[in-house]
Amino acid sequence: MLPDYIEKLVRILEREDVEWEIYWERGRSGSFSIERETLERAQRKFFSGIGLRIGLEGKVGFSYVSGLNHTNDTLENLVKRAIKLAKVGNVPFSGFPSPEKVEKVSDIYDPKIEEIPFEEAYELAEHFSSIMAEKKAELGSSYTFSGSLSMGFVHYGVLNSNGVELMEKSTGFSMSSYVVKKELKSGSGYYGQSYRSLKGWEERYSILEKALSLAEDSYNAELGKSYGGEVFLEPSAFLSVLSIFLENLRGDNVYHGRSRFSKPGEEVVSDILSIFDDSTVPGGVGSYSFDGEGSPGQRTPLVEKGILRGFVLDYTFASLMGYHSTGNAVRDFRTAPQIGFSNVVVEPGDYSEGEFEGVIISRVFGEHTANPASGDFSLTVELGYRVEDGEKIPIKGNMFVGNVFEVLKKAEAVGKRRERIGPAYVPGLVTSGKVV
């Protein structure tokens, strides 16, 4: 059943001779920040609002109002403002989606997160900080532990004048840990993970251990020698490089000539690589049943065996380019829909990382300084390893440089072990590259 305030808004809209789309949401988030093993900041935020798009004489207008409980006057004004923006703005209108069958994605809502009393959530955060304090007591004062824990829920819905009327509830839960080891030199390690349910809590010890292990390796790491040849990109580093490539697969970038590619069909990376955008992964942190315009979520092949198969699209760019929306309109009530990825899924291969000799790149930063169009990148190596005679020697502070299109074309093997990094499912990759 529609909330009252939405019914009220629909009644106002139906009096106008316009096409319309309402996106509404209501939610709450709570987060906790742990500094020096102590819970230092806790917060609970409430948010809600309504975004309205109007289609009028081939033009579109968008406006929003925060909060949900409004007088008729406020809602009338929201409608007037969106109509005025359509008239003034001349933003072309491509229409709104029509109703399609939407399959519910499972395990994206955990009622425990919506119902948890603040005191209980606070206790979880305190417990997380106490694990850090115990670890510090065991390891000594050269270690500093910090971290965060957060959770939230949102109820949201889309309805439009074509008859789309959809509602969904979703929840999120995340934990992270950051460890610094400082004596005469220093090292640091960060590890975080997000989930859809409170079950993620079971992984609190492993999150801390992973951050700690990265900090130990970082502490022992030194600037590596310059190197050119075979490199193994661990999932995190591979995802960083892949994110530069993926910019070229956004429909808006393709349409506007900011992408390397213009149409599907060409071989763009090594034939051992297959990449999907998939909003239907059960329990996936990027999953949804329908997107911000009400188009159904789906598994979209982006690259199959090296061949470019498609782009991620919302309804507007799909219409402009003669495709069907892939259900990749992301938004909140403050924004008109924009194209974004849901869960990025890279198919695993059969390569076992234990066989590797050369340089392993584990973690990098600085992706935003890369040029997605040319593909050239130089990323700082936060942590890596030189593997010689089976021995792993940690390195850091070097730069990993290359061209993303070449690095992905030269991919020789895909790792067997796949890691989930937030909404991405990524294996490791053997390719060739340069470290300076």
Site for other proteins in 335-364 (CB under 8 A): 336
Select from 302, 395, 397 the least CA-distant residue to 342: 302
Q: How many residues sit in the footprint of other proteins (CB under 8 A)?
A: 75
Does 312 help bind other proteins (rule: CB under 8 A)? no
Residue pair 187/218 in contact by the 8 Å Cβ criterion: yes
Question: Can you say whether the dihedral through the CA atoms of 311, 372, 383, 272 is positive or negative?
Answer: positive
Q: List the interface residues with other proteins, window 156-195 (CB under 8 A).
A: 178, 180, 182, 186-188
Q: List the interface residues with other proteins, window 62-81 (CB under 8 A).
A: 62-69, 81
Question: DSSP letter at 247?
Answer: G
Does 369 help bind other proteins (rule: CB under 8 A)? yes
Pick the closer one to other proteins by CB: 122 or 201: 122
Burial of 349 (0-12, 13-18, 19+ CB in 10 A): buried
Among 45, 127, 392, 416, interactor with other proteins by CB under 8 A? 45
Among 11, 14, 58, 90, interactor with other proteins by CB under 8 A? 90
Burial of 376 (0-12, 13-18, 19+ CB in 10 A): middle
Question: Can you say whether the dihedral through the CA atoms of 119, 121, 126, 127 is positive or negative?
Answer: positive
N-term to C-term CA, the chain: 60
Q: List the interface residues with other proteins, window 97-126 (CB under 8 A).
A: 118-119, 122, 126
Does 229 help bind other proteins (rule: CB under 8 A)? no
Tokens matching residue 231: 């490199």
- Among the candidate windows 195-203, 266-274, 292-300, 391-399, which touches other proteins by CB under 8 A? 391-399
Does 431 help bind other proteins (rule: CB under 8 A)? no
Does 256 help bind other proteins (rule: CB under 8 A)? yes
Q: List the interface residues with other proteins, window 269-288 (CB under 8 A).
A: none
Report the nearest approach of other proteins to the CB of residue 118 (Å): 7
Select from 370, 368, 300, 367 the least CA-distant residue to 329: 300
* Torsion angle, alpha carbons of 244, 246, 248, 252, to 10: -120
- Among the candidate windows 58-66, 94-102, 160-168, 340-348, which touches other proteins by CB under 8 A? 58-66
- Among the candidate windows 12-20, 39-47, 101-109, 269-277, which touches other proteins by CB under 8 A? 39-47
Does 403 help bind other proteins (rule: CB under 8 A)? yes
Cα 163 to Cα 97, 98, 166, distances in angstroms: 9, 7, 10
